[in-house]
Amino acid sequence: MKIVFFGDIHGNIEALKAAYDAVALQNPDKIYHLGDLGGYAPFVNEVVDFLIKHGIEGVQGNYDEAVANDREHCGCKAEDPLQEEMAHRSFAWTKAHVSATSKAYMKNLPTEIKFTSEGKKVWLFHATPKKYNLYWYEDRPEKFFHEMAEKGDADVMIYGHIHKPYRKDINGKVFINAGSVGKPKDGDPRACAAVVDIEPDAVKTEFLRVPYDVEKVAVEISKSGLPDYFAEKLRHGA
Ligand SMILES: [Fe+2]
């Protein structure tokens, strides 16, 4: 069973379309998204419409929850005052431009999805099993991975939120961060999609990097009234 995961699309319709076309060539059995559909780029409604049109199910991210419920804060962590200010402007922009359809869609997303494939229990969530705004980086101590795995009985856990893809295998359990379609932060501006092949005796992972017109989206970010800061971040995969 070949399953594709789109993490953190963040209002980037060009990246989503390119990723979708690229993974279609691999004939996946199913495609899921991992939440955080708006913010940082202006095409939040186009992204939601695309997901609905193509029947792509997914889970709710912290950004989706915050936008859908008109929260004061997106639940994102800022490392300095500039980042905090920029995050706030992006969040305010997104709340002002999101459609009623998009909001309802985000509000109704489940926080987790569980299914069994080839005898393996698969568990999807945005960031971690219990908190959707905790940053589960690859270099967290193994103890952290154990603690998260203990919150469920899954064999394969797939999530996003940090915008940096990785896979770790610990004690027979597979941990996959799908990276980000629309706002990679690993220095590679290309869209990232995780292609996971679940076989009876193996789980194979490919992080597909898909080129698209990054500059076109960067220009649209600046034109939309979102800070240029996010156009620059997009250009550099930062
Ligand atoms: Fe995100």
| Span 139-181, pLDDT tens digits | 999 999 999 999 999 999 999 999 999 999 999 999 999 999 9
Q: What is the mean pLDDT of the chain?
A: 96
| Cα of 201 from ligand 1 centre, angstroms | 32
Centroid of ligand 1 to alpha carbon of 200 (angstroms): 32
How much distance in Å is there from the Cα of 61 to the middle of ligand 1? 7
Q: How confident is the model at residue 222 (pLDDT cuts 50, 70, 90)?
A: very high
pLDDT in tens, 73-124: 888 888 899 999 999 999 999 999 999 999 999 999 999 999 999 999 999 9
Q: What is the pLDDT of residue 130?
A: 83
Instruction: Give the closest residue to 7 by CA, choosing from 186, 136, 160.
Output: 160
DSSP state of 69: T
How far, in Å, is the centroid of ligand 1 from the Cα of 43?
A: 15
- Give the DSSP H or E segment for 30: strand 30-33
**Model pLDDT, residue 174:** 97
List the structure tokens of 19: 């990723």
Q: Are strands 166-170 and 156-159 parallel, antiparallel or unpaired?
A: unpaired
- Are the C-beta atoms of 38 and 230 separated by less than 8 Å? no
Q: How far, in Å, CA of 121 to CA of 87, rounded?
A: 36
β-partners of residue 30 are: 3
**Which stretch of 5-14, 48-57, 141-150 has the lowest confidence by average pLDDT?**
141-150
108 C-alpha to center of ligand 1: Å? 18
pLDDT at 136 over 90: yes
205 in Cβ contact with 196 (< 8 Å)? yes
Q: What are phi and psi of 74, to 5 degrees?
A: -75, -10
What secondary structure does DSSP assign to 94-140, as a single string?
A: HHHH--HHHHHHHHT--SEEEEEETTEEEEEESSSSS-TT----TTS
What distance in angstroms lies between residue 119's CA and the mean position of ligand 1's atoms? Answer: 30
Bridging pattern class, strands 156-159 and 120-125: parallel
